Chain A
Amino acid sequence: MFAIYKRLWLVNWAEQWQYRANLLMYLAFWLVSPIVYLAVWTTIANAQGSINGFTAPDFVAYYMMLLIVDIATSDITIHIFGYKIMDGSLSNELILPIHPVLMKVLVNNLAFKALQMMALAPIWLILYVLYQPVFAITVTHVLLAIPAIALGFMLQFFAGATITCIAFWTTRVWSISDFYSNIFRLLAGQFVPLALLPAFMQSASQVLPFRLALYFPVQLLLGKLSLEETLLDLGLQVVWCVILFVLFRLVWRAGLKKYAAVGA
């Protein structure tokens, strides 16, 4: 089993390396919006001194951390797999005795992530020099952040894979995925630290899983969470991962049944 993942990794790495020029282009997607929101909120904070206790340096630290965690936990399943369901090239993978999503797409995701991180590093350092963020990170935080980020990614991966499966029923899933990323933007903390959301959205974000995928690891790395809060959220991450995994399996199975009935 491990041998398959290792081989998949090597192949994906080699493949993505071929596309390194394009990779830089895609990186812009992850870079631009945090920088835009960072600019918006620091402008406001500078004009007013602070917003609900958030000062400009707080925003800088928040978005600089978000840049890293966002790439680490994001999922690209819909972009690399959605079209395969629609144009029928999924058939090529279904005749292989491995799971196309849980193995191939997962590894593809990881290889993409690894290269994105490499591309981000120099840009992040330049931004660091420009903005001079102040972090208060301890070793404990980093150690706790590793499972938090891993689980955050798995959460997004299972959610993304489930949404991608909608392609079995409707020809284009892009608008649904746009809808999902709109929600994610507000409720996972990409737009603004969740503490600054209006009260009703804050409570919504607390209940929903989105914040676990991004906001929680960011807050953890910024040293804003107590150990109890951290462990509670880690537990919640596990629970949501299981729920979304089961959901994915159900939708995938139903989707395959439909695919086998209609053909593509």
Chain B
Amino acid sequence: MYILKLFSTFLKVNLQQDLAYRADAIVNMVMSVIGTGWDLLGLSIIFANTKEIGGWGPSELIALMGVWRLVNVMMATIVWPNTEKFNTGVRDGSLDYTFLQPVNSQLLISITRMVVWRVFDFAIAVALIIAGMTSGNVITSPPLVAAFLALTFSGAAIIYSLWITLISFTFWFTKFDNSVTIMAALMDAGRYPAQVYPYWLRALITFIIPIAVATTVPLQALRGELMGWQIIGFLVIGAAAVFLSSRVWKAGVRRYSGASS
């Protein structure tokens, strides 16, 4: 509960910060709506030329777009702003203050900066998912929806863990500070079902930068394409990723304090 309190405090401070940039917040919300319209336009261009792509119809791709945007909300709210803060901290030494505070350092570097108005994008993403699920021929049943939600959550957790791992590497390889951009670059590949891609790209976004695990996989569950053991397998992988990445972070911190003393 301490964590929740800390989280809400940070949320409040960040919200206060964001409120200071009024025009920013409004412009960004307008842009989010326009961006969504624009993405839907892109989908409509695809489906003006075909009925399905890789076995997926328009309503499924709308739902996929929602899931993809959900992951992006997490990236935009937490991952990108804190990466920036982290990198500056490493460069100018202000990261030291993080370790002086009596709080789990991984939690602290994950939530010091949050772009709160992205909550608006969250609403858009949820609306897209619901629209996609209800409009077309997506087979849904309560257990499948539950599996979908669980897999979306664990997929996001895997992406988050990858991020923690990548920034932890900075403690060993200082030149590695831009590795996170590779995540940003590959995010785009999550817009479409992984089945569409050539095998090497599919492997890349499933195993190396597992954006497909956070987007395509939950949708597959929703379509009833995954076996029970596969669903459980993905959830186990998610939990393992969270555990392993926190170990890597701790090792990185130990390395950092060893090097700077």
Contacts and interface: CB of A to CB of B under 8 A. Distances in A.
Contacts of A21: 175-176, 178
Interface string A183-225: 1011000011000111001000000000000000000000000
Interface stretch (B5-13, B148-156, B191-199): B191-199
A28 interface: yes
A25 B49 contact: no
Contact of B53 (A33, A40, A179, A192): A40
Contacts of B54: 43
B146 interface: no
B178 A182 contact: no
Contacts of B46: 40, 44
A176 interface: yes
A51 interface: yes
Interface string A164-179: 0000001110011011
B41 interface: yes
B119 interface: no
B31 A25 contact: no
Chain A's interface size range is 35 or more
B1 interface: no
Contacts of B21: 171-172
A178 B31 contact: yes
B50 A47 contact: yes
Contacts of B31: 175-176, 178-179
Contact of B41 (A26, A32, A178, A186): A186
A127 to B, nearest CB: 10
A171 B192 CA distance: 33
B189 interface: yes
Contact of A182 (B24, B38, B45, B201): B38
A39 B45 CA distance: 15
Nearest to A182: B38
Nearest to A31: B185
A29 interface: yes
A52 interface: yes
B230 interface: no
A43 B196 contact: yes
A36 interface: yes
A29 B49 contact: no
A185 B49 CA distance: 18
Contacts of A117: none
Contact of A44 (B27, B38, B53, B181): B53
Interface in A19-42: 21-22, 25-26, 28-29, 31-33, 35-36, 39-40
Contacts of B23: 170-171
B48 A198 contact: yes
Given A43-B53, A52-B49, A175-B31, A29 B42 contact: no
Interface in B13-55: 21, 23-24, 27-28, 31, 34-35, 38, 41-42, 44-46, 48-50, 52-54
Interface of A: 21-22, 25-26, 28-29, 31-33, 35-36, 39-40, 43-44, 47-48, 51-52, 130, 170-172, 175-176, 178-179, 182-183, 185-186, 191-192, 196-198, 201
Q: Which 7 A-B pairs have the closest CB atoms?
A: A28-B185, A22-B178, A175-B31, A44-B50, A25-B181, A29-B185, A39-B197
